[in-house]
Amino acid sequence: MPHADPEERRRYRKAYMRAKRAQLGSELKAKEAAWSAAYYRANRQKRVQNALSWNKANPDSHRSSSRKWRKNHPEKDREYGHVKHSRRRSAKGQFTLADWRSLVGRSPRCYWCRRTWTVARKPTHDHVIALSNGGDNSPENSVCACKECNSRKGNRTFHPINGQGILL
């Protein structure tokens, strides 16, 4: 074997791949990307198991990296929380971060009390028909409500025009 030493073999392989990439350019990168995507799809369960075992073996590192990620990506973190909540409720439909941004963009005030948004009064995601009552997690069933109205409403269902309770 020309490179019996593992370190020497690794250095040779790196140099070889660097030269090959320079020679083939974007064609090789596209093939590698396709192979990588196929590999990740085919080995999803294995990757999940590896991640879970690493998280269990390194709880402090996992906790600190998770906190750092949540601090740097608050909107994504909120979206993942909503997705997790709707899955737990077995809700139909999908409400994405893009849907939320669109909803906030066209909602200048609280849907229920009609007060405008301020620094203290921020919009929250409210389901007209609550997930616990069989509502779906879709843009059609979603409104922007202030925290106060959202909390007061709870899982009750209200008529969107007159605010009266609806008997379903």
Q: Strand pairing partners for 110?
A: none
- Give the mean pLDDT of 64-92: 87
CB-facing half-sphere around the CA of 15: CA atoms within 13 A: 6
- pLDDT for the residue 46: 93
The string of pLDDT tens digits covering residues 80-139 is: 888 888 777 788 888 888 898 999 999 999 988 899 999 999 999 998 888 888 888 899
Widest Cα–Cα separation across the chain: 82
- pLDDT for the residue 164: 60
The pair of structure tokens assigned to 79 is 């979206």
Measured at the CA of 154, the angle between CA 98 and CA 100, to 5 degrees, comes to 5
Which residue is it, tokens 């066209």? 106
pLDDT higher than threshold 90 for residue 72: yes
Amino acid of residue 126: D
Predicted TM-score (pTM) of this structure: 0.56
Q: Are strands 123-127 and 142-146 parallel, antiparallel or unpaired?
A: antiparallel
